[in-house]
Structure 1
């Protein structure tokens, strides 16, 4: 069989070159970023995850240019450049959480480059996440929740829909992206009823039972919604799926109207944090709470237990009876 005169497989050349002690083929940070994002899409990462990497890599690339890292050839990027990147971010006053997010994104990106043989070592090796204080964001009191829930005008379609959205956030702890992805068929009224979250952040579908009040309100809303062309659960008066931005604006508006927004920023995640707090205060098992909220790790939920768990109040009295 007649052989080609030149080897055309670039990956094979990179592997052979690496084995022979040669440096991988030169590739820029920008080109490698494009390849990485394409890989993320092909792999099936959630759109929000792809946007996260795209945003963070763009910021990393800008900072690399500021600290004069060799972005035209990533094989020359070393650990010292990552350290300069961290110092540069700190000098700009970036929050520790922001810097850590970029470090995570950068490490994942360079691990991809390592697997693709673009580089021979990950410059993030030996770089640790910055230490941060573990805090829990503000939550609503029951009185604040009641004020928000009582605000929508349920004599209008949008008011009934908004009440349904607020109650879904408050009574399930669901994420905004999960709520906007709900379809009519994801809600069941059989038995006590449940919401089946099919498009969860961690890719694991989960079932959230309905409270009696949420079941009543959702049934009323869905009857008013009727059968329309889209199967999105929550829709606008024009019968189009409601966007996450519109929901955020609606919550902010109700926060201003009720005055709750002056005390706690009214957002989908504030409802989620409140749901976790109330469940912990009620003594809900942490593993059950994990199944309800879809947290992939128990670490965050442990913080709620440490702060709001009733066992501390019970334990502090033991041993002092009669003293």
Structure 2
């Protein structure tokens, strides 16, 4: 019997249709990345989160190309390629935390690819985070912190603003991204006063009460700042919102002037770590500290308790009296 040129059976056509629908379309790593970042923007992810994914996925794509992984079709990227990627990163001397960040970004990205049917399976399934040493970065001593706070010349607008920035970092433990997003209306002086962090990293707004000194300095700064077009709290002499990079540069400059930089890297996060350490040393309840700092998990704060908690000093003496 002569075969027909085209398939006409309804059952056969249905079967072929199902097979076709289960076959992922061919999409390159670069195209899939662009689609993923667009999805993140539409979803309303924080700019810093989008920047994180953009940066890490570029590094992943570049490394996969360098180890000859098939990046022209994401569906052909398999677990073995991810394992080779990890070994390649290790050979370059990348820190465990850096590799783990890329693994988290890659896993989330491929979950998106699965949902879009760009791939059948996530090649990161079965890939574990690398084990890292749970260490706490350097913190300032009280002497170093005092030097940095006393460094700005408060007789100038810039000096008063810089003191307000440094004191806000030191007395609240706020993140740099949260600090640069503060608006004038986020600071209240009613009662003891407070800073309302509206654009928090974990998307949960929180209130941080003001210390007496921070309350006094912020009130003086806001009065000197005056009413201008922008409502952002910290501004330049040109009355523009100050950038995170400018604050980092300013802190480094004061670190060099005071000599603190010779002992500790002066950065916004060093102030945050110091805030946590001082609060733990003072016996602040870890759940209260979590509310103040906005940590989504207690794991990091537990490290501070394990290292700086005073209960260790008290416990070590008990039962050993007179021995």
Scaled by the length of structure 1, the TM-score of the pair is 0.93
Query: Is the partner of 1:138 in helix, strand or coil?
Result: coil
Residue 51 of structure 2 is aligned to residue 44 of structure 1: no
**Distance in 2 of aligned mates of 1:245 and 1:198:** 21
**Distance in 1 of aligned mates of 2:31 and 2:277:** 45
User: How many residue pairs get matched?
Assistant: 308
Trace 1:154-303 onto structure 2 (pairs within 5 A).
154-303=154-303
Give 1:33's aligned residue. Answer: 33
* Cα displacement string for residues 272-322 of structure 1 (whole angstroms, at most 9, x for unaligned residues): 000000000000000000000000011100000000000100111111123
> Are 1:160 and 1:221, in contact at CA under 8 Å, matched by a contact in 2?
yes
Give 2:82's aligned residue. Answer: 82
**Distance in 2 of aligned mates of 1:132 and 1:243:** 32
**Distance in 2 of aligned mates of 1:37 and 1:17:** 29
Residue 117 of structure 2 is aligned to residue 117 of structure 1: yes
Deviation at residue 15 of structure 1 after TM alignment: 9.6
Structure 2 unpaired stretches of 5+: 1-15
* Change beyond 3 A, Cα 1:35–1:16: farther
Give 2:11's aligned residue. Answer: none
> Are 1:15 and 1:117, in contact at CA under 8 Å, matched by a contact in 2?
no
* Change beyond 3 A, Cα 1:15–1:159: farther
**Distance in 2 of aligned mates of 1:223 and 1:209:** 20
**Distance in 1 of aligned mates of 2:19 and 2:62:** 30
**Distance in 2 of aligned mates of 1:18 and 1:101:** 35
Trace 1:9-28 onto structure 2 (pairs within 5 A).
16-17=18-19, 22-28=22-28
Give 2:71's aligned residue. Answer: 71
Give 1:128's aligned residue. Answer: 128
**Distance in 1 of aligned mates of 2:241 and 2:36:** 31
Deviation at residue 147 of structure 1 after TM alignment: 0.6
**Distance in 2 of aligned mates of 1:141 and 1:192:** 27
Query: Is the partner of 2:196 in helix, strand or coil?
Result: strand
**Distance in 1 of aligned mates of 2:76 and 2:247:** 46
* Dislocated runs of 4+, deviation >6 Å: none
Query: Is the partner of 2:227 in helix, strand or coil?
Result: coil
* Change beyond 3 A, Cα 1:313–1:225: same
> Are 1:192 and 1:210, in contact at CA under 8 Å, matched by a contact in 2?
yes
> Are 1:193 and 1:209, in contact at CA under 8 Å, matched by a contact in 2?
yes
**Distance in 1 of aligned mates of 2:197 and 2:161:** 19
Deviation at residue 28 of structure 1 after TM alignment: 1.1
Query: Is the partner of 2:241 in helix, strand or coil?
Result: coil
Deviation at residue 16 of structure 1 after TM alignment: 3.8
Deviation at residue 18 of structure 1 after TM alignment: 7.0
Query: Is the partner of 2:134 in helix, strand or coil?
Result: coil
* Change beyond 3 A, Cα 1:106–1:238: same
Scaled by the length of structure 2, the TM-score of the pair is 0.93
**Distance in 2 of aligned mates of 1:60 and 1:88:** 11
